[in-house]
C-alpha cells in the first residue's frame, strides 16, 4: 500500500472516529473520550490533511462544526452561523495565528486584542425581539441547533434568574447574543452532595452535568441545577448602536444587564496576551467555575470582517487550550491503603499518563461504593482527572474499550498489613476501617500526622524518616517520638551532628504546642482542626476532655453526638491511654490556646456570640476569619445551628449554610456588617 493510500485510510478512520465522538459530546452529552484525547485525534487529522490537501473532503470534521442536533428538541436555524474556534496549544501556535492574521490585513497590524476566559460549558444563542427573550438554542452543528427556550427561561442560580427575560427600554428590535451556559463549582458540589445523600452515582464534571441539565425535557429539573451563563458576543443586531470594537460589544451587553465576565481584558500585543494566558493558568483553580483556556480576539470589528472565516472557524479569534486535566489511560490494578485513622481507601494503579501538568501513576477511588458506582475494573481504559494540586481521581471507564469477560473488582475482607485483620464497615458509613490498634500502616500514618505542620509541627520528621525509624524499631507510636535514641541515630548514614541537633530541637519545641494542636495530633476520628479548637476552648485541658462524658462533650456548640461518641471512645481505649501516658508532661498540661495573650489584648466585642462564616471574607484567610472571631471572645464553629448568633456571607458562599440560617431566622451579615460587628459588638 502506497503512502497516499495509507494516508487516505488513516484520514477515513480518524474522520469516522471524530464524527462519532462529536455525536457523543455535542448531541448526547456523553463524551466517550477526554478533551485532550479528542484534540490529539483532531490534530493528527489536521496534519494529515495539510500534507495531503487533495484528500480533504467537504464533510471532514476539520471543515464542520459540532454535530447534528438530536430529535429531542425542535430544530432552530441560526440566522448567523455559530462557528467553532481554532486551537493553539503553545506560544508558537499563538504567534503563528497572529502572523497569519497580519498578512491578511491591509494594514499589516492587528491593533488591540481582547483576551477572555474560555469557559468549559455549553454554547448557546439567546434571541431578544423588542427586548423580550423569544428564543434560545444550542449551537448544534453551527447551522441548526436545538430549541431550549423553556430551559433557558428556567435557569436559576442562588434563587436569582441567570438570564434576563426582558432587556431595559431602548434595546434593539432584534438582538441575538452568544454565550456559554456553565455550572458553578458550588452548585456542582451541592448536586453531588445530594447524590451522595440519595445513594446515587456522583456526576463526573461540571461541563457534562451542565449540558445534560440544560437539555432536560422538563424545565423544572433544569431550574434546580444552579446553572448560570456568561455572554460574550453578538450574533445579530437590528436597530442597535454602531459598535466599532469587540470591547464596545461587551460594554454594550453589560449595559443591557446581560452577564458578561469581568475578567475580559484589552491588550495591545501578543506578549501581553501571553501574560493573560499565564495568569489564566495560575488562577485556574481559584475561580468559582471551570475554564479550559483563554480566547484571544482581534478587537476591531472592521478587521474581523476583513479577515472573515474558514468553513468552521473565524480567522480573527483563536482558543488557547490549557494543559489537559483529564486523560485516558490503562487501569493496571486496584489496591487498598490504610490511613492514620484506620480508614481503608481503594486507589488505582495506572499506566503513567501526563495530566494536569504532571505524570500520574496512581489515583483515588474513594471507597467501595464509588468503585461499584463507577464500575471500574483492572484492565479497563479509564478517564483520569487531575486539577491543580487536587489528588488525581478516576472518573470512570471507557466502556467501548472494555475487554470481554473482565471481572468485577471486589473489596478485600482483610487489612493488607502483615496482621491481616478484618476490615469492618459500620451501617451508614461509606468507608471500611481496620480496628486493630497495632496495625503498622495506621501507626505510620498517625506518627506522620502527629508531626505535620497543622498538628505538632515537628520539622525534620518527615515521611522518609518516620519509615526509617519504624523499620529500625526506634518508634512504634507517637509517644516514642520523645524518647528517640539520638546516639544511635548519629551512627546512621546521612545523619550528621547538625541534622540530629535540628531534629532534637524541633521535637523539644513541639512540647510547647497548644491543647488544640495536641488534639489534632491525636488524630481522633471525625475530629477536625476546627472542632479540636472548640473542644480545647470549652474544656481548657486534656484531663477534663478525657474525663468528660459523651453528653458533656456533645453540649459543646459545633461538636454533636457523632464526634462526642468518637472522642469518648478514643480516650476509653486502653491502648490509646498507654500511648498518651508516654507524651511529655508539658504537652499533657498544654493550655487551650495558641495565643492567649493576644486574645486578652483585644476588646472582647464578640463575647457570648457564635458566628458562622460561609465563603471568603476579604482581608482574611479561611483560618484567619475564625481566629479573628475567637480573638474577640466569640465562637466560630463550622456549621449553623439554633445557637448561632449570626451567619457571615462572603464570596462564593455555601448554599446549605445559607438555607439553614434563613430557615432558623438567624441574622445574615455581609462583609461590611461583619466588620462593624467585630468592631462594635452590635448586630445590625
Q: How far, in Å, CA of 405 to CA of 408, rounded? A: 9
Q: How far apart are CA 66 and CA 499, in angstroms?
A: 61
pLDDT value for 659: 80
pLDDT for 209 equals 87
pLDDT in tens, 276-312: 999 998 888 889 999 989 999 999 999 999 999 987 7
Give the C-alpha separation, 139 to 122, whole Å: 8
| H or E segment to which residue 192 belongs | helix 185-197
428: left (phi > 0), else alpha (psi -120 to 50), else beta? left
> Phi and psi of 107, rounded to 5°?
-80, -20
What's the whole-number mean pLDDT along residues 5-15?
Answer: 79
Has residue 119 got a pLDDT over 70? Answer: yes
Do the Cβ atoms of 165 and 153 come closer than 8 Å?
A: yes
Task: Please measure the distance between the N-terminal and C-terminal CA atoms of the chain and give it in whole angstroms.
Answer: 82
Is the pLDDT at 444 greater than 70? The verdict is: yes
Burial zone of 242 (CB within 10 Å; 0-12 exposed, 13-18 middle, 19+ buried): exposed
Q: How many CB atoms within 10 Å of residue 619? A: 10
pLDDT tens digit sequence for 246-266: 999 999 999 999 999 999 999
pLDDT-based confidence at residue 70 (cuts at 50, 70, 90): very low
- Backbone angle region of 93, left / alpha / beta, with phi > 0 → left and psi within -120 to 50 → alpha: alpha
Q: Which pLDDT band holds residue 30 (cuts at 50, 70, 90)?
A: low
Q: How far lies 203's CA from each of 157, 188, 193, 212, 641, in Å? A: 18, 8, 10, 10, 29
Conformational region of residue 247, where left means phi above 0, alpha means psi within -120 to 50, and beta covers everything else? alpha
pLDDT digits (tens, 9 = 90+) for 547-576: 999 999 998 877 888 899 999 999 999 989
- What confidence score (pLDDT) does residue 600 get? 47
Q: Provide mean pLDDT across the span 344-348.
A: 91
Provide CB contacts within 8 A for 391, sequence distance 6+: 363, 364
Average pLDDT (402-408) is 93
Least confident of 322-336, 546-560, 619-633, 664-678: 619-633
Q: Residue 638 above 80 pLDDT?
A: no
Task: Answer yes or no: are the C-beta atoms of 344 and 434 closer than 8 Å.
Answer: yes
> Which pLDDT value is given to residue 27?
59
The pLDDT, as a whole number, for residue 307 is 95
H/E run at residue 648: strand 646-649
pLDDT for 593: 47
Residue 496's Cβ-side half-sphere holds a number of Cα atoms within 13 Å equal to 1
Asked which of 261-270, 338-347, 502-511 is least confident by mean pLDDT, the reply is 338-347
The predicted pLDDT at position 529 comes to 82
* 317 pLDDT tier (thresholds 50, 70, 90): very high
At residue 183, the pLDDT reads 93
Question: Residues 572, 546: contact at Cβ < 8 Å?
Answer: no
Is there a contact between 166 and 133 (Cβ–Cβ < 8 Å)?
Answer: yes
Distances, alpha carbon 527 to alpha carbons 240, 332, 517, 534, 563, in Å: 60, 35, 12, 10, 6
Spatial separation of the C-alpha atoms in residues 424 and 430, rounded to whole Å: 11
Q: ∠387-390-394 over CA atoms, to 5°? A: 75
Q: Is the pLDDT of residue 392 over 90?
A: no
Q: Which domains does the chain have, with CATH numbers?
A: 3-55 (1.10.287.610), 75-321 (3.30.470.30), 326-424 (2.40.50.140), 437-510 (1.10.150.20), 515-588 (1.10.150.20), 596-680 (3.40.50.10190)
Backbone angles phi and psi of 648, in degrees to 5 = -95, 125
Q: What is the pLDDT of residue 684?
A: 79
Place of cell 452543528: 141
Which is more confident, 529 or 250? 250
Query: Which residues are known catalytic residues?
Result: 118
Q: Does residue 601 carry a pLDDT above 80?
A: no
Q: How far apart are CA 652 and CA 658, in angstroms?
A: 11
Summarised one tens digit per residue, pLDDT across range 602-625 is 788 898 899 998 887 877 766 678
pTM: 0.53
Q: What is the pLDDT of residue 39?
A: 74
Task: Scan for cell 476566559, then name that residue.
Answer: 117
Res 622: pLDDT = 65
Q: How far out from the chain centre does Cα 130 lie?
A: 40
Q: Does position 466 have pLDDT exceeding 70, yes or no? A: yes
Alpha-carbon distance 371 to 364, whole Å?
A: 10
Residue 177 near residue 235 (C-beta atoms within 8 A)? yes
DSSP string covering 130-169: TTEEEEEEE-TTSSEEEB-HHHHHH-EETTEESS-SBPPT
Task: Quote the pLDDT of residue 479.
Answer: 94
- CB distance 646 to 668 below 8 Å: yes
The three cell numbers locating residue 362? 496512581
Total Cβ atoms within 10 A of residue 98: 19
Average pLDDT, the chain: 86
Query: What local confidence, expressed as pLDDT, does residue 48 receive?
Result: 80
Q: Taking CA 353 as the corner, what is the angle to CA 348 and CA 355, rounded to the nearest 5 degrees? A: 100
Q: What was the pLDDT predicted at 592?
A: 57
Torsion angle, alpha carbons of 373, 379, 381, 387, to 10: 70
Task: Give the mean pLDDT of 138-148.
Answer: 88
Report DSSP letters for 58-117, one per residue.
TT-TTTS-S----SSS-EEE-SS------EE-SHHHHHHHHHHHHHHSTTS----EEEEE
The DSSP secondary-structure symbol of 594 reads S
State how far the Cα of 360 lies from the Cα of 389, in Å rounded to an integer.
Answer: 12
- No. of helices (H) and no. of strands (E), the chain: 26, 23
* Closest alpha carbon to 294 in 270, 326, 259, 258: 270
State yes or no: pLDDT of 489 exceeds 70: yes
Share of the chain above pLDDT 90, in %: 46
For residue 300, the 8-state DSSP code is B
Does residue 4 have a pLDDT over 50? yes
What was the pLDDT predicted at 5? 64
CA distance 285 to 389: 9
Q: Is the pLDDT of residue 343 over 80?
A: yes
Amino acid at each position: 500500500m502506497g503512502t497516499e493510500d495509507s494516508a487516505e485510510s488513516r484520514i477515513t478512520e480518524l474522520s469516522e472516529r471524530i464524527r462519532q465522538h462529536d455525536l457523543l459530546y455535542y448531541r448526547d452529552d456523553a463524551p466517550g473520550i477526554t478533551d485532550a484525547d479528542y484534540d490529539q485525534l483532531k490534530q493528527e487529522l489536521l496534519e494529515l490533511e495539510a500534507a495531503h490537501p487533495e484528500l480533504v473532503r467537504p464533510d471532514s470534521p476539520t471543515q464542520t462544526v459540532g454535530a447534528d442536533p438530536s430529535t429531542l428538541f425542535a430544530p432552530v436555524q441560526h440566522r448567523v452561523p455559530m462557528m467553532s474556534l481554532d486551537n493553539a496549544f503553545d506560544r508558537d501556535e499563538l504567534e503563528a495565528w497572529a502572523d497569519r492574521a497580519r498578512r491578511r490585513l491591509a494594514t499589516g497590524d492587528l491593533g488591540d486584542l481582547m483576551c477572555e476566559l474560555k469557559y468549559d460549558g455549553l454554547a448557546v444563542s439567546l434571541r431578544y425581539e423588542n427586548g423580550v427573550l423569544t428564543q434560545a438554542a444550542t449551537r448544534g452543528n453551527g447551522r441548526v441547533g436545538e430549541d431550549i427556550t423553556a430551559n433557558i427561561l428556567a435557569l436559576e442560580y442562588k434563587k436569582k434568574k441567570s438570564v434576563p427575560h426582558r432587556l431595559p427600554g431602548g434595546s434593539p428590535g432584534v438582538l441575538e447574543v452568544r454565550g456559554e451556559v456553565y455550572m458553578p463549582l458550588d452548585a456542582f458540589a451541592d448536586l453531588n452532595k445530594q447524590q451522595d445523600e440519595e445513594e446515587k452515582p456522583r456526576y463526573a464534571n461540571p461541563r457534562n452535568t451542565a449540558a445534560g441539565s440544560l437539555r432536560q425535557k422538563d424545565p423544572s429539573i433544569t431550574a434546580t441545577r444552579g446553572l448560570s451563563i456568561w455572554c460574550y458576543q453578538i450574533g445579530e443586531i437590528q436597530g442597535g448602536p454602531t459598535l466599532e470594537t469587540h470591547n464596545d460589544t461587551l460594554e454594550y451587553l453589560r449595559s443591557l444587564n446581560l452577564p458578561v465576565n469581568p475578567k475580559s481584558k484589552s491588550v495591545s500585543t501578543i506578549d501581553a496576551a501571553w501574560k493573560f494566558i499565564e495568569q489564566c493558568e495560575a488562577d485556574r483553580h481559584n475561580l468559582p467555575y471551570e475554564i479550559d483556556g483563554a480566547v484571544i480576539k482581534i478587537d476591531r470589528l472592521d478587521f474581523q470582517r476583513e479577515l472573515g472565516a474558514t468553513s468552521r472557524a473565524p480567522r480573527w479569534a483563536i482558543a488557547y487550550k490549557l494543559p489537559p486535566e483529564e486523560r485516558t489511560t490503562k487501569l493496571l490494578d486496584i489496591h487498598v491503603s490504610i490511613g492514620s485513622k484506620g480508614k481503608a481507601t481503594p486507589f488505582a494503579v495506572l499506566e503513567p499518563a501526563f495530566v494536569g501538568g504532571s505524570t500520574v501513576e496512581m489515583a483515588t477511588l474513594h471507597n467501595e461504593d464509588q468503585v461499584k458506582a463507577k464500575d471500574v475494573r483492572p484492565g479497563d481504559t479509564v478517564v483520569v482527572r487531575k486539577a491543580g494540586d487536587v489528588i488525581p481521581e478516576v472518573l470512570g471507564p471507557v466502556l467501548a474499550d472494555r475487554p470481554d469477560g473482565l471481572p468485577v473488582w471486589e473489596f478485600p475482607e482483610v487489612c493488607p498489613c502483615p496482621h491481616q485483620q478484618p476490615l469492618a464497615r459500620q451501617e451508614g458509613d461509606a468507608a471500611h476501617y481496620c480496628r486493630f490498634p497495632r496495625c503498622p500502616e495506621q501507626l505510620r500514618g498517625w506518627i506522620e500526622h502527629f508531626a505535620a505542620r497543622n498538628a505538632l509541627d515537628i520539622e525534620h520528621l518527615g515521611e522518609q524518616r518516620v519509615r526509617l525509624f519504624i523499620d529500625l524499631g526506634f518508634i512504634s507510636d507517637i509517644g516514642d517520638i520523645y524518647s528517640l535514641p539520638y546516639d544511635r541515630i548519629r551512627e546512621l548514614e546521612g545523619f550528621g551532628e547538625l541534622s540530629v541537633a535540628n531534629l532534637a530541637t524541633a521535637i523539644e519545641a513541639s512540647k510547647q504546642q497548644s491543647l488544640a494542636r495536641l488534639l489534632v495530633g491525636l488524630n481522633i476520628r471525625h475530629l477536625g482542626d476546627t472542632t479540636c479548637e472548640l473542644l480545647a476552648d470549652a474544656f481548657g485541658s486534656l484531663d477534663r476532655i478525657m474525663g468528660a462524658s459523651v453528653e458533656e462533650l456533645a453540649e459543646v456548640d459545633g461538636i454533636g453526638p457523632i464526634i462526642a461518641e468518637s472522642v469518648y471512645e478514643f480516650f476509653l481505649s486502653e491502648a490509646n491511654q498507654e500511648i498518651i501516658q508516654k507524651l511529655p508532661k508539658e504537652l499533657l498540661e498544654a493550655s487551650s490556646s495558641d495565643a492567649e495573650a493576644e486574645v486578652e489584648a483585644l476588646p472582647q466585642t464578640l463575647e457570648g456570640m457564635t458566628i458562622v462564616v460561609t465563603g471568603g471574607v476579604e482581608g482574611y484567610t479561611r483560618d484567619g476569619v475564625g481566629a479573628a472571631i475567637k480573638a474577640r471572645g466569640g465562637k466560630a464553629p463550622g456549621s449553623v445551628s439554633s445557637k448561632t448568633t449570626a451567619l457571615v456571607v462572603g464570596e462564593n458562599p455555601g448554599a446549605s449554610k445559607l438555607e439553614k440560617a434563613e430557615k432558623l431566622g438567624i441574622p445574615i451579615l455581609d462583609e461590611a456588617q461583619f466588620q462593624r460587628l467585630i468592631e462594635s459588638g452590635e448586630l445590625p
